[in-house]
Chain A
Amino acid sequence: MVVALPKGRIAKEVLGLFSQIFGDEFQFSGRKLILEKQGFKFLNVRNWDVAVYVEQGVADVGIVGLDVLEELKSRVFRLWDLGLGKCRVSVAGQVGEEVEQRFREKGKLKIATKLTHLARSYFEEKGIPVEVLKLNGSIELAPLVGLSDFIVDIVETGQTLQENGLEEKDVILYSSAHFIANPNSFWKKRGEIVHLLHQLKEALPTERRAVISQ
């Protein structure tokens, strides 16, 4: 079975779970991208690419945040919410500046974000016309220098926002890491996949476990 594991935000917690399951240190050595262990092949890919590897069937299963799945509209099975790496996808802006008011003043808003689909559909639902600017990092900078009116970004503690004079205006999505599977792989390798899911749940801290049948 091929497992796609994420680099980045949720990597540490996820690799920690696999260390528990496989009973020793679970590390991709140096710059290695493939790790083989006990009949499994693990691929070390960027958080954003986990869903692509699984959707295309190159990996059977993977772990990735709901924010990524929703942004990419990935056609994968989202088997289980592992409850790891919790965060929010939020609209944020400068303290005291309100979205509705700004929209009434300008008639159209500029939104800076990495999550362009989520941002666009949120404002479409609200009936607010927006120009969405795709950024790849330091999203918080955009409203401070007049690049955008508001941002849509991932918020964990809110500290970065606070330190930059920004605040959350609304939450679009509550996200956490999900155990996902390629549909064909799931049907073909159900026994192995459900077993791995069970092991992952066992390795989770007690408060995050829920009932799963073997």
Chain B
Amino acid sequence: MMRVSLLKRLTVISALLALILALAVGLGISIGSTGNYLKEVLAALFKGQPADSVLATIIWQIRLPRVILAFLVGAALSLGGLVFQALLRNPLAEPYILGISGGSAIGAIGGIILGFSYFPGVGLLSFAGSIATLALLLFMSSGQTVLKKDSLLLSGVMVNAFCAAVIMFLVSLTRDSRLHNIIFWLMGDLSMADTKQVGLLALALVPCFLTVFWLSNRMNLLLLGQETAQSLGVNIKFTTLALLITTSFMVSGTVSFCGLIGFVGLVMPHLLRLFIGPDHRILVPACILGGGAYLVLCDLLARTLPGQGEMPAGVVTALIGAPLFIYLLKRSRK
């Protein structure tokens, strides 16, 4: 009985979010700086390739990889937020706020300055950076069975400040023209997506998504408290470690591709929990689809807002996310 209703809920919610995602992707590939091609995209969907080859290049080779990248990054980051919120039992936990994104950015920038290629050099250093900040964070708040809201956030703020300083230090050490790129990249830039790289990222992220989905029921049990979870047969150490490493891997993957995109992991899990409730077996796929759609739309906004060229997607997500963070913090204090 329980299983059936769960499956039904999962299907309905996933289908709904998939529809929203499809709409977001459709808009994402239809709208851009050279014009809006809604009709052409629809025609292409039903009749195959559009006749105009320039249009085809713009839609399929420039906009589509970018939209897919936005989906992957949005999905990974909101999943990251969801996992951290469950593991640390803290509604305000999120890779960016905790400083884990910052740590992997240090690794990635180090890699760029040393002249490594994106894969594997920059990616690996970025992963090392995120694991190191995570370890630092856990060490700072160790000894507490439940990581208290404020102490964890304070640790995160400090880790973030430290990372920002290290990044500025590294940037001011380099005197070459890559500096421009680093600063733009830091704000979360999705514009460099090419089909090969996006494929590579998908290859790295999709197994992570599956792993988190596989562990989603244990996340539910962990939320009941460690003792209860243990008595229900959950291997706490393994589960926690697997989730933390998977999440750090996802976060460092996205950071080394497109820099720091903050607050996605805060906005989506909260929004979805509001509608769906606290069951992670549904929340995990919902976060993947919804978080992906959210970043696709944020990026669409970022590249169509009038201005001197396009702005990084991280600007838009922070403009939306930071006020929400303050609201949630205020509410959680009541």
Partners in one complex: no
Which residues of chain B have a CB within 8 Å of any CB of chain A?
none
